[in-house]
Amino acid sequence: MNGKERVMAVLNHQKPDRMPCFGANSTVTYDQMEKVQAFWPEGHQKGEVMAKQALAAYTVLGFDAVRVPFCQTFEAVALGCKYKPGKSVAGGEGIPGIEHPPPYKLDDTPIYPDDFLTRGSIPELIKAVKILKKEVGGEVLVVAGIIGPFTIAGSLLDAVPILKATFKAPDKIRPFLEVAEKAGTTLAKALIDAGADIISCEDMTASPELIAPKTYRDLELEYQKRQFDAIHVPKILHICGNVDGIVEWMGQTGADILSLEPKASARLAREKCGPDIILMGGVDTATTLFMKDADTVRRGCEESIADGIQILAPGCAVAPGTPTENLLAMVEVAKAH
């Protein structure tokens, strides 16, 4: 089987020749950038460079899918947030973010621009997906990332105001979730038209480590379900941290795959979500993949597989300074299962 056939077998609840391995989040590192001679910040803003960096997940690491983009700014910038370039750090350029102040306050009415898909670097992201589809679309899956409604709403309002509003005025967040869901869904459809095989939705601010599980159920679940209902390719849902308190509702969103960090219990996810949901995950990206050695990575991967993980993956976005040998160790474990 090639990588594409392998992942599709798992999605169709068939037995692949061996366990697939790829990332639901960014897998680009400084070492990969050197190997393919494509660097940040251009990799965040130019389609050709973005595609070249994403290809390294296949050509350098041997992953079963390639994935763009590598930051969480595309929708927010197109909705009016200010782009904050990544700082220079040891090894290269850091990951960009959203600059303060945010464009809206809680009593404002957010606006969805009619020219959303032409704003910021979105046209370059669409171009990158087209390049990836042409280059490796027959061999490995093309995964395109969008950002979840609650996280985009958090960028429009800033983290502290939206987190306070979840307790004091939750209904005031709804107009922002409406616009955020529309933005992510519109982007997902454009990326599918460009050739994306899977949509991976990251919703970091919806983590139980930031908002109460009740807030996820009462506010975010409705918009995430609406978004996934409108996307007609397989969907991955990734929420950071220990999601044990919300995993039952994550399983009700319409996601085909739940991407879990090792802080969360894969056994509990299986119990709460039933047999149809595919579970992906692996080792902690900060404390293990980035900081430990390949033997520790191998042991962490084996523990995740024993807990019920079906697709081996970094637990979250890979730190750009992560050693290549640690990522290769993940593939090695996957090949043994």
- Residues 100 and 215: their CA atoms lie apart, in Å, by 25
**pLDDT for position 169:** 96
Q: Are 28 and 50 in contact (CB under 8 A)?
A: no
**pLDDT for position 88:** 80
**pLDDT for position 87:** 87
**pLDDT for position 89:** 77
**pLDDT for position 92:** 80
Radius of gyration of the chain from Cα atoms?
19
Q: Give the Cβ contact number of residue 242 at 10 Å.
A: 17
Q: Chunked in runs of 10, what are the mean pLDDT values of the chain (337 residues)?
A: 98 97 97 96 96 98 98 97 89 89 97 98 98 97 98 96 95 98 98 98 96 96 98 98 98 98 97 97 95 97 97 96 97 98
pTM more than 0.95: yes
